[in-house]
Amino acid sequence: MNFSITILGSGAALPTFSRNPSSQYIECNNRHILIDCGEGTQMQMRKFGVKFQRISHILISHLHGDHFFGLAGLLSTMHLLGRDKGITIYGPQGLEQIIRSQLEIGGTKLDFGITFITLDGKSSQLIFEDKLIEIHTFPLKHRVPTNGFLIKEKTKEYNLLGDLFKQDGLSIKFIQKFKNGEDVVDENGKTHYFKDYTTPPPPTRSYAYCSDTIYYENIIPSISNVDLLYHEATFTELHKQRAKATFHSTAIDAAKIAIKANVKKLLLGHISSRFENGDEHLKEAKTVFDNTIVVEDGNNFEV
């Protein structure tokens, strides 16, 4: 099953030729999710081959423009391309009002429904689940209410050793129990152990998104042990004071969170337009946490 992240925008605040504002496309077990939707996101989707109509969930972290100014435009394009399948948008208080006003005042009537789910930005919660994945939100610490997101696979079933199962002539009623990791007692009172007929399920994978936030250890329980963590690193140590004043993080801040949360790999993004490249961010972060990458627009990562 696929689980991948495509970076559509890795810059902070201002769009530049090299970095678009925040947005990411997540494919997880054939679920298609957009996180944040800065200005120009739909052009990045075209450029990097993301199919518009597949997206079923849009998660907006907060209401600073570089994280959602592209949303009304994207929804309008989905409509013009003939979308009739509904979409669910998660975001802070006020997002629904803004988007509905933008559409209604201009007389745009979409051919598909939007379900808005308001996030309070104050508590961690499970916001979506189906049989394969879960999406959780948790509060970040920024100048306005801001949500981080955790996307993870559900625990998978044990793999049945089909030949052995057949050979021993067990009832097909046992199959699901074994796959669930349960032992079964048959009508003669004999116990059949699932471990004899299965191999362990493949590990579940997880991805966490943290943008924007000041250094904030309260997020650690929500993101601990993830395979991949995206954490904003707007600034380097040179602008440490500026980071604090604007409730943003430095590369070192992000790396400290990564090591304390015991994540496997760290992606740094939301890079300020004052930097020509991410070299300094990378150098600083690696002094704390080695398995770090500074992302570029168009990068694709397997979780």
Query: Annotated catalytic sites, by residue?
Result: 66
Can residue 231 be called a binding residue for Zn ion (CB under 5 A)? no
**Least separation, in Å, of the C-beta of 64 and Zn ion?**
3
Q: Tell me, what DSSP letter sits at residue 43?
A: H
By rule CB under 5 A, what count of residues binds Zn ion?
Answer: 2
Contact 7, 17 (CB under 8 A): no
Binding mask 24-63 for Zn ion (x = CB under 5 A): ----------------------------------------
* CA–CA dist 296, 282 (Å, integer): 12
Closest chain position to Zn ion (CB):
64
Residue 302 pairs with which residues in a beta bridge? 4
Per CB under 5 A, contacts with Zn ion among 64-83 are 64
**Least separation, in Å, of the C-beta of 30 and Zn ion?**
31
**Least separation, in Å, of the C-beta of 125 and Zn ion?**
21
Half-sphere exposure of 185 (CA within 13 A, CB side): 2
Contact 215, 256 (CB under 8 A): yes
* CA–CA dist 8, 209 (Å, integer): 14
* CA–CA dist 33, 260 (Å, integer): 27
**Least separation, in Å, of the C-beta of 225 and Zn ion?**
27
Per CB under 5 A, contacts with Zn ion among 202-221 are 212
* CA–CA dist 60, 41 (Å, integer): 13
Handedness of CA 87, 93, 99, 105 (dihedral sign): positive
Residues that bind Zn ion (CB under 5 A): 64, 212
